[in-house]
Amino acid sequence: MSPVAEGFRQLGHLFATDTLAVIAVIALMGWLLRKNETVLAWLSFAGLAWFLFNLDGLAFVEAWPFDFAVGQSALLYPLLFATLGLAASFLGVAVPQPLVIMVALASLVLGAAATLLHGLEITRVVALASVCVSLLMLGFLATRAGARISPLEKLVLVSIYALGLCATAVDLFAEKIWPGIALLLSPYGGVLLLGFSGFLILHHMLATAEAREKLNEALGQRIETTKANLLASESARHSLEVAHAVKLERERLMREIHDGIGSSLVAALASAERQGKESTTAVVALKGALTDLRVAIDSLEPVEGNVATLLASFRYRYEPELRKSGIGIKWMVEDVPELEWLDAPSALHVLRILQESISNTMGHSKATQLSFKCKMALLMGRPGLRVEVADNGSGFNAEAPVMGRGRRNMAQRAEALGGKLDVLSKPGEGTTTILWLPLVRRQGLNLEAGHAADL
């Protein structure tokens, strides 16, 4: 071989051998950082075995005072052992520990025998047989491979491993295959084998890290969702507790009003009625006070925003008095949506408006028929409920100046509710009171404006 060709051969051999050493060191560092990745330990061991095996053939090694080729022949068996261990670990094949120990001891025995019998042709035959057995074991491992790698990766990996092992077999007879050239293939086969293994290991570790990050992100989102659900549940529980406490307090107030003030008014009314006609004014006042008290109590009843339920309660209170006055009732209340904002103060405003309208009908209109209507209606494009109370009484001039406070108070209450009140009437044509209530009430409304009517 010419000096130039020998120089290129030495350079390529040195580069390949140093690459094997670098792979072994990097794999060792990776395994020290991640002890659970046993495949890195096998990669480091295989890199070291391939590095030592391929030192033979370098100029500086040949200049050493001892015959490295003798030791190099013994390193074939640890190389085969490490390569098969790396393949098994990477393919996900669980190899029993006793079998690993047995193969390791066999490689040491064969290595020692190769060292002692170096120079004999039998050592090459045994070495070639060991490589062939290793190829068969590699095929067996491929058939037992788990789901750690894809079929394509398994095919490529097994092919490259087979090429690397075949390169060592060729090198056993390199002198006979190309005499005088001293070209060794095992360093390049080892770089290809271990380099591809390292690439796949790195690829799978990065894929695992990415999958772990996605899993952590998904878990984080689930934790946030769970926290939001817990907060919502806690808020709902707190709302239920508050609602229950309000209900208990409402029931207590209703009971106190009924048993206290209500009982006193009933007793006073009974006493005034026993005194005869001289107490007519007192009787009327007491009846009005008692009715006002009952309306206030009705407003405390939970209606859950249902206007139809509120109107039914009002009808229950006033129908007996209307019939005593000779006034029939026509009920035309449709099934309408609930008003979420209709709480106890708002319900009292609605009842007071209706109460004022009924009182005017009973006291001044001489009506014989009274109709209640409730349905959906739009006002300037806004959805709402239209509550209408109409009588067939004598009516009045609605355009005349307002003398009393009744209509003014009704308008103030409607404004406090965010609604609108219209009183339509003509002499001889009866009176119609129309209260429009919004489905969604604007923020910032002050119910105190309506409370002024109670003073």
Q: CATH number for the domain including 369?
A: 3.30.565.10
Indicate if 62 and 207 belong to the same structural domain.
yes
Indicate if 67 and 161 belong to the same structural domain.
yes
Mean pLDDT of the region 225-254:
75
* Total count of residues recorded for the chain: 455
Q: Is the pLDDT of residue 132 over 50?
A: yes
Q: What is the pLDDT of residue 25?
A: 92
% of the chain at pLDDT higher than 90: 7
Q: What is the pTM of this model?
A: 0.48
- The CA distance from 145 to 161, in Å, is 15
Strand order in the sheet with 328-333: 328-333, 369-379, 382-391, 431-438, 420-425
- The CA distance from 312 to 317, in Å, is 9
First to last CA, the chain: 122
At residue 160, the 3 state secondary structure works out as helix
Indicate if 173 and 319 belong to the same structural domain.
no
Number of domains the chain is built from? 2
Indicate if 336 and 430 belong to the same structural domain.
yes
Q: What values do phi and psi take at 206, rounded to 5? A: -65, -40
- Residue 297 C-alpha from the chain's centroid: 46
100 or 432, higher pLDDT? 432
Q: What is the pLDDT of residue 254?
A: 59
Q: What is the pLDDT of residue 351?
A: 84
- Largest interatomic CA distance in the chain: 148
Q: What is the pLDDT of residue 375?
A: 92
- Residue 385 C-alpha from the chain's centroid: 39
Indicate if 165 and 310 belong to the same structural domain.
no
Q: Which residues lie closer than 8 Å to 302 by C-beta, 6 or more apart?
A: 247, 250
Mean pLDDT of the region 31-36:
87
Spell out a b/e string for 291-325, using b for 16 or more CB atoms within 10 Å of the CB, else e.
bebbbbbbbbeebebbbebbbebbeebbeeebeee
Give 66's pLDDT tier (boundaries 50, 70, 90). very low
Mean pLDDT of the region 279-303:
62
Mean pLDDT of the region 271-276:
60
pLDDT tens profile 140-182: 888 887 766 778 888 888 888 888 888 888 877 766 666 656 6
Mean pLDDT of the region 74-98:
83
Q: Within a domain: residue 268?
A: no
- The CA distance from 138 to 132, in Å, is 10
Q: Within a domain: residue 64?
A: yes
Domain that holds residue 323: 301-455
Q: Within a domain: residue 235?
A: no
Q: What is the pLDDT of residue 455?
A: 37
Place of tokens 């047995």: 102
Mean pLDDT of the region 268-280:
58
Indicate if 192 and 310 belong to the same structural domain.
no
Indicate if 206 and 310 belong to the same structural domain.
no
Mean pLDDT estimate for the chain = 78
Indicate if 211 and 312 belong to the same structural domain.
no
Q: What is the pLDDT of residue 438?
A: 92
pLDDT tens profile 186-235: 888 888 888 888 888 888 888 888 888 899 999 999 999 889 888 888 88
Q: Tokens representing 133?
A: 């057995």
- Residue 64 C-alpha from the chain's centroid: 68
Q: Within a domain: residue 282?
A: no
- The CA distance from 90 to 188, in Å, is 21
Q: What is the pLDDT of residue 77?
A: 82
- The CA distance from 96 to 100, in Å, is 7
At residue 423, the 3 state secondary structure works out as strand
Q: Within a domain: residue 288?
A: no
191 or 445, higher pLDDT? 191
Give 57's pLDDT tier (boundaries 50, 70, 90). low
